[in-house]
Homo-oligomer: A and B are copies of this chain.
Amino acid sequence: MKKHYSEELNHLKEMVLRMGGLVETMTHRAVRALVERKREILADVVEMEQQVDRLHIDIDEIALGMIALRQPTATDLRFITAAMKINTDLERIGDQAINITEQTEKLLSVPLVKPLIDIPRMAEVAEEMLKAALDAFVRGDVELAYRTIKRDDAVDQLKDQVFRELLTFMMADASTIAPSMDLILVSRHLERIADHATNICEDVIFMVKGKDVRHQDPPE
């Protein structure tokens, strides 16, 4: 029974990682479709969302079942509830990737407003944050979680930069207003993906230290 239980915990961890890998790939492909102007990539992203939705339900069911049947210790209980919370954030990252595909769909039918530099950079940082957050979860690595939370500022700065730059384009030429709006929304979706990665890091810190770090600044 002891062994079986630790296998269940491992299985839960693997499902969370599989879901994390899926939403990371969705984000990557949605932005690649935009940057490389390849509409055909978008269908992949939409297809992957169905797998994510399935995993979202399965992870919650398995986690609840374990809490009900196994009477987990404080440490395992924090792990299982962290998995459930991370599950929610991952599902919402998938939603954001879908939102990006919707804006991309529109953007690919008009000429490019400007060369895309900040948006791919934002996507890169957001994806790295997500990957690091999941590594921190697997290894219970609190330091990595804190370091990753700090990167969120860079994403916010890039988002402000995108906004200011596109505002000048829109002011100068009304024909750029609609596509600029779409690009601004893409940057907001990427910002939210980074926010969800931050949430995951906070859950990891709580899981390991049993201390709630939300709503306070990370230590220097």
Q: Which residues of A are at the interface with B, using a C-beta cutoff of 8 A? A: 53-54, 56-57, 60-61, 64, 67-68, 71, 74, 77-78, 81, 84-85, 88, 167, 170-171, 174, 177-178, 181, 184, 188, 212, 214-215
Contact = CB atoms under 8 A, between A and B. Distances in A.
B212 A61 contact: yes
Contact of A84 (B78, B81, B170, B212): B81
A215 B53 contact: yes
Contacts of A84: 81
A178 to B, nearest CB: 6
Contact of A215 (B56, B71, B178, B188): B56
A67 B63 CA distance: 13
20 contacts: A56-B214, A56-B215, A57-B212, A57-B215, A61-B212, A64-B78, A64-B81, A67-B67, A67-B77, A71-B71, A81-B84, A167-B177, A167-B178, A167-B181, A170-B170, A170-B174, A170-B177, A174-B174, A181-B184, A188-B188
A15 to B, nearest CB: 15
B174 A57 contact: no
A209 to B, nearest CB: 14
A207 B219 CA distance: 38
Contacts of A181: 167, 181, 184
A198 to B, nearest CB: 12
A133 to B, nearest CB: 16
Contacts of A64: 77-78, 81
Given A56-B214, A57-B214, A170-B177, 19 more contacts: A53-B214, A53-B215, A54-B215, A56-B215, A57-B215, A60-B212, A64-B78, A64-B81, A67-B77, A67-B81, A68-B74, A81-B84, A88-B88, A167-B178, A167-B181, A170-B174, A174-B174, A181-B181, A181-B184
A158 to B, nearest CB: 17
Contacts of A215: 53-54, 56-57
